[in-house]
Structure 1
């Protein structure tokens, strides 16, 4: 499978499979493309070409420490934003809440930072965060639709179109 993915165009990906889960795996890309959308679309298409059906496009989950590093702020400043002690409030809730180190959606954090003028983010960072979030939702929705019978799926598609 690794060879097939490489031949399909995943030469820029680090790929791993978990044999304990029936072969599910993940890939991390460092892809050059004219846009974030083209990078994500090409990775999905190439995976399918190699016989892999992507389950999702995992958006970048980050800890408060990683947010501080990416924004050139102190961990204390970022912690104050997250807890509401400082800043404009409404910091995005953690996507993976944990007692010691919660993980946040980089897409949500990026949009919050830009909306509140707290960090200069490159247009590419904003775009890829947004595209990954939407692509993941679309792949999940496609997979979940397959659980419905055809009539229910068609009715739902018409309702949300």
Structure 2
């Protein structure tokens, strides 16, 4: 088993009493991991999880199930850091920032360097997963981007949306989603 670290975003603020309930509700986190919470302040709480499991997706699932044991509380998102600057991307691979800038200003589109995902305050952000795929295509030894966090994030967001609307079970089955 591997130890997986990730952060879950909850649907609402968690209280001190709820953190105590989670900490003592099951042997899961004593035997296989740990959770720490942001309590206080406005907005939804986050939970930093360090869980032992066979896969990252399994670890996220176990933590999300444990959180759901408290009435009205659920994980609605997994934080993942796919957006990077070219400088951050250079830190994750064997290339310099300058090399990535040169590649970014070269040919774009199919087979070319990925297009930016967005810009904030003059800082341009790219998808690390897309950059990694592009660099592997050039022959660079870049480990695959972990897709489990992105899958878990999409699944939790979908589950949260489905909690807020009434969707007929037949429609869910047609979409390949099984209602609980």
What's the TM-score, normalizing by structure 1?
0.69
Q: Indicate the residue corresponding to 1:117 in structure 2.
A: 139
Q: Distance in 1 between matches of 2:120 and 2:89?
A: 16
Q: Which residue number corresponds to residue 131 of structure 1?
A: 148
Conserved? CA contact 2:76–2:159, under 8 Å: no
Match of 1:45 in 2: 65
The total of aligned residue pairs comes to: 150
Distance in 2 of aligned mates of 1:35 and 1:4:
26
The structure whose residues are more often strand, as a share, is 2
Q: Distance in 2 between matches of 1:47 and 1:104?
A: 32
After superposition, give the CA deviation of every residue in 1:97-133 in whole Å (9 maximum; x if it has no partner). 3133344444444444445533321xxx63xx20111
Q: Would you tell me which structure has more helix in proportion to its own residues?
A: 1
Tell me the CA shift for residue 77 of structure 1: 2.1
Matches within 5 A, 1:23-62: 24-49=44-69, 52-62=73-83
Backbone CA RMSD of aligned residues = 3.2
- Conserved 8 A contact 1:92-1:104: yes
How many Å apart are 1:50 and its aligned residue?
Answer: 5.1
- Tell me the equivalent position of 2:91: 69
CA distance in 2, matches of 1:113, 1:37: 26
Contact 2:37 2:47 in 1 (8 A): yes
CA distance in 2: counterparts of 1:112 and 1:66, whole angstroms:
16
- Give 5+ residue unaligned stretches, structure 1: none
**SS of structure 1 residue aligned to 2:150:** helix
Indicate the residue corresponding to 1:89 in structure 2: 112
State the Cα distance separating 1:53 from its structure 2 match: 0.3
Shift of 1:160: 2.1
In the TM superposition, what whole-angstrom CA distance separates every residue of 1:36-86 from its partner, at most 9, and x where no partner exists? 2222222222322355400111222342222211113212223334x3426
